[in-house]
Amino acid sequence: MKTCFDCVPCLIRQMVDTARLCTSDDAVIEDALRQCLAEMARMDLGQSPPALGWRLYRLILDRCGATDPLRDMKAQSNRFALSLYPELKASVNRAPDPFAQAARLAIAGNIIDFGAHSSFSEARVRQSIAHALEAPLDPVELDALRHAAASARRILYLADNAGEIVLDKLLIERLGPEKVTVVVRGGPIINDATLEDARAAGLTGMVEVMDNGAPAAGTILDLCSPGLRQRFAAADLVIAKGQGNYETLSHALRPVYFLLKAKCPVVARSLRVKPGDIVLRRGGAA
């Protein structure tokens, strides 16, 4: 997905939010914001929003002298999601269709997105779960995913955010953990999950986890490690969580199942859904 004009003010808003997390020194924030605006004025909008976003994010962090301003928020969202996990797992086990229930809950977790919401809210997560269990979800796409997963031997699961990855465990258990490799980001970017979060979420003891080598949101293949690119090409099934992965892989050269909550009007329009809708959609060269 290329960056649309509406993404520009949204990216700048995210950078203001990020700078405020890094420092309370307005002079530093102002300098960082000016650098961001100057950089944005020169950027290639043919790239995806995460491809622009990670450079702006690094610029803000460098200027503000920070490395991982959302580390505490990520830990908090992991802890909260872990506190919900037992009851959610029980709900999957007693659901008439456990696979569908798990998929819905994994999508619900995608609400934990600091890019879309500038704070972490337990109430918002609970609302997202309640909504995802009731909202329409394409039954044809769901069954296609179910069958693809049943026949796949190597499933690559591209995770998105901290906290969310705890809810991903519910779906991974249904996919067959022995077949799944979970991919996290190669370095801190917004509240995206890293290896540290995968450990906190208990994923590392359950499945193979690798980082993609890139400190960017989404999966920008050109930035990722050769190992990740090889796995991406060789997997029988790729599942990609969240807006960032959709924005960066919507035109991938292989089929990808996108599972996300559409949180912004641009992504919603691209998917032909409404903001707030839950989405399970096969894309890429599908």
Query: Site residues (CB under 8 A) for a copy of itself?
Result: 5-6, 8-10, 12-13, 16, 19-20, 26, 29-30, 33-35, 37-38, 40-42, 45
Q: 31 or 208: whose CB is closer to a copy of itself? A: 31
Query: From the CB of 53, what's the least distance to a copy of itself, in Å?
Result: 13
Question: Six-digit token pair at 265?
Answer: 């009007």
Query: From the CB of 3, what's the least distance to a copy of itself, in Å?
Result: 10
Q: How far apart are CA 264 and CA 274, in angstroms?
A: 9
Q: 13 or 251: whose CB is closer to a copy of itself? A: 13
Specify the amino acid at residue 55.
R
Q: 9 or 205: whose CB is closer to a copy of itself? A: 9
Q: How far apart are CA 187 and CA 263, in angstroms?
A: 23
Among candidates 11, 4, 9, 10, which has minimal Cα distance to 47? 4
Q: How far apart are CA 285 and CA 20, in angstroms?
A: 40
Q: 26 or 178: whose CB is closer to a copy of itself? A: 26
Query: From the CB of 258, what's the least distance to a copy of itself, in Å?
Result: 26
Query: From the CB of 9, what's the least distance to a copy of itself, in Å?
Result: 4
Q: 27 or 285: whose CB is closer to a copy of itself? A: 27
Query: From the CB of 22, what's the least distance to a copy of itself, in Å?
Result: 13
Q: How far apart are CA 8 and CA 28, in angstroms?
A: 21
Question: What backbone phi and psi angles, to 5 degrees, belong to 47?
Answer: -80, 165
